[in-house]
């Protein structure tokens, strides 16, 4: 499978937004929140989550236990203008139609097409940045048209889009888990460099006794 690694694409249209001043702590919303993996990466850096939404009951219960917030809700029923003001939008939108283990319908599928609700929030609230995550197959050749459509939707919402393939094993987790990440800004930040990560986390082979 041929993969794209790190790329960026300029926004074709930019909406101006009034300055929010020099607030010390950034605010975030957690859409399609799951159990809060994306939020977990931002909170240690002073980012405060002010709203979250997750439809799956089991995931929402785990989220509630992890953070003390109740994210229960359906993203497809949210009024984008009613979502609290925020600086960063986080979302790991459904992958069932993108994953090679799934239906492979791409954006034609009922679940993965829900990224359109993210476009609506971005256009309505114009946060300074977003971070989106999905399965690595999103950057594969069979998904090329769908990925181009996603970039176009984010660009039309007013963002400069960057993307890369990252592996959890290079960020402290003993798991070979590649994921596609898309990062966008409401202004041109020039060259955006994704973190390279470190050496691969420990492999189970290192702990097995030799016969």
Compute the distance between CA of residue 131 and CA of residue 114 in angstroms, rounded to an integer. Answer: 16
| Active-site position among 31, 49, 53, 95 | 95
The DSSP line for 105-138 is -GGGSTTGGGHHHHHHHHHHH--SEEEEEEEGGG
Compute the distance between CA of residue 94 and CA of residue 32 in angstroms, rounded to an integer. Answer: 7
At residue 205, φ and ψ (nearest 5 deg) are -60, -30
Do the beta carbons of residue 29 and residue 90 sit within 8 Å?
Answer: yes
Do the beta carbons of residue 139 and residue 147 sit within 8 Å?
Answer: yes
Do the beta carbons of residue 159 and residue 88 sit within 8 Å?
Answer: no
Spatial CA neighbour of 11 closest among 187, 189, 159, 124? 159
Q: Is 95 among the catalytic positions?
A: yes
Alpha helices of the chain — where are they, by DSSP H?
Answer: 37-42, 57-67, 115-125, 144-156
Which of the residues are catalytic? 95
């Amino acid at each position: 499978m041929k993969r794209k690694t790190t790329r960026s694409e300029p926004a074709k249209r930019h909406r101006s937004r009034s300055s929010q001043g020099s607030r010390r702590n950034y605010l975030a919303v957690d859409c399609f929140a799951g159990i809060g993996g994306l939020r977990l990466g931002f909170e240690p850096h002073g980012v405060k989550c002010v709203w979250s939404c997750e439809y799956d009951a089991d995931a929402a219960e785990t989220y509630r236990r992890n953070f003390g917030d109740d994210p229960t809700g359906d993203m497809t029923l949210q009024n984008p203008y009613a979502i609290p003001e925020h600086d960063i939008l986080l979302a790991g939108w459904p992958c069932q139609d993108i994953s090679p283990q799934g239906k492979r319908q791409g954006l034609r599928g009922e679940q993965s097409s829900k990224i359109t609700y993210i476009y609506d929030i971005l256009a309505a609230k114009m946060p300074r940045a977003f971070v989106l995550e999905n399965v690595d197959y999103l950057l594969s050749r069979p998904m090329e048209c769908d990925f181009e459509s996603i970039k176009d939707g984010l660009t039309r919402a007013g963002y400069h889009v960057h993307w890369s393939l990252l592996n959890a094993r290079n960020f402290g987790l003993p798991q070979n888990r590649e994921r596609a990440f898309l990062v966008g800004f409401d202004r041109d930040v020039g060259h955006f460099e994704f973190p390279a990560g470190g050496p691969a986390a420990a492999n189970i082979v290192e702990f097995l006794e030799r016969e």
